[in-house]
Structure 1
Amino acid sequence: MDENEHSSYALEWTLDTFFTPFHSSSSSPFSLVILYARPFAPLPVSVAGPDVLPTLEVQMKMVSDQIAEKAKQICADKLVEDVEVEVAEGDARNVLCDAVDRHRASILVVGSHGYGKLKRAFLGSVSDYCAHHANCSVMIVKRPKSKH
């Protein structure tokens, strides 16, 4: 999960697909771990000095907390309360693949930004990386295009 609508959509899709039909039964057969991969502090900020880093850390913690709360709210809206939310620092590709191994996940669900070939070449694709490197099945959820 991150701050964009693609990951929110992927979470909602996951809840609708794997959890919501089970909300009236005693328990779901699935466990849900939502992970936010918090990026490292940018190198120029790290070099800028010790005064800048604490301020950036506070801001990054606020963003992490907001994302975690948003994820919990989406789950609560879908009547899914048994959820674990984690924040791990690092490159999302590595953080997700490590989490798959740590939790022995059977499926990793990621959202797709829908980048074109050029943008994907420069920015890299977390979903593409995970599809090739995660030790489980990977579901890439695409948000439907708006009809406007």
Structure 2
Amino acid sequence: MSATTAVAPSVHEELLDHSADEHASRRVVVVAIDGSDRSQQAVDWAIDNILRAAQDSVVLINVRPLAVQLGYPTALGDFGAEYQSIEDANREASHELIRKTAKKFVEKDIPIRGIALRGDAREELVAKIDELKAQLVIIGSRGLNTVSRALIGSVSDYVVHHSSAPVIVTKF
């Protein structure tokens, strides 16, 4: 008996685009966010120390997890509606996070795009960074210890080792 794994289709949702008309001549900076305090600190640090409204165009990216379907339809019930409810809630939370965070960039007149993705954060981020031809990536560190990083993996560590662009990992 062989087991096959279904791979969920990639999701790319362009939420907002407050980018400048001369976008092509600007440095494309990807800022990855996950809603954590460290992620928001990375955003604030990037605005205060790295980003310049006249030179940069920011692409704000959030990768939401795949909803896990806990069971298959049985005589006891179909879990499809519950699964879809979780997917919808994750999608709305991701979009709200991007909209809320984007306001910080808009206030500083920094051109901004917002993109919501779904899947494994490590792989989705690296693929989107390559697709956007980003010149810089800014990401916060969750502050995992060595054992946790080895067991569950670190998104920032993966991006550092697999991204085609230079990566700044902030740690507070």
Q: TM-score, normalised by structure 2?
A: 0.72
Seen in structure 2, the aligned counterparts of structure 1 residues 116 and 72 have a Cα distance that, compared at 3 Å, is same
Percent of paired sites with the same residue: 26
**Are residues 1:2 and 2:2 paired?**
no
Structure of higher CA gyration radius:
2
Match of 1:53 in 2: 83
RMSD: 1.9
Q: Could you tell me how far apart the structure 1 residues matched to 2:140 and 2:104 are?
A: 15
Measured after TM superposition, the shift of residue 31 of structure 1 is 1.1
One-letter amino acid of the counterpart of residue 12, structure 1: D
1 or 2, which has the higher strand percentage?
Answer: 2
Matches within 5 A, 1:84-103: 84-103=113-132
Match of 1:146 in 2: none
Q: Could you tell me how far apart the structure 2 residues matched to 1:9 and 1:56 are?
A: 28
Q: Could you tell me how far apart the structure 1 residues matched to 2:85 and 2:139 are?
A: 30
**Are residues 1:74 and 2:74 paired?**
no
Equivalent position SS for 1:99: helix
Please, which moves more after superposition, 43-52 or 8-17?
43-52
**Are residues 1:40 and 2:72 paired?**
no
Q: TM-score, normalised by structure 1?
A: 0.83
Match of 1:64 in 2: 94
Q: Which consecutive segments of 4 or more residues in structure 1 shift more than 6 A? A: 45-48
Q: Could you tell me how far apart the structure 2 residues matched to 1:46 and 1:32 are?
A: 41
5+ residue gaps, structure 2, are 1-32
Count of aligned pairs between the two proteins: 136
Measured after TM superposition, the shift of residue 93 of structure 1 is 0.6
Q: Which of the numbers 106, 128, 138 marks the counterpart of 2:135?
A: 106
Please, which moves more after superposition, 133-142 or 49-58?
49-58
5+ residue gaps, structure 1, are 144-148
Measured after TM superposition, the shift of residue 65 of structure 1 is 2.1
1 or 2, which has the higher helix percentage?
Answer: 1
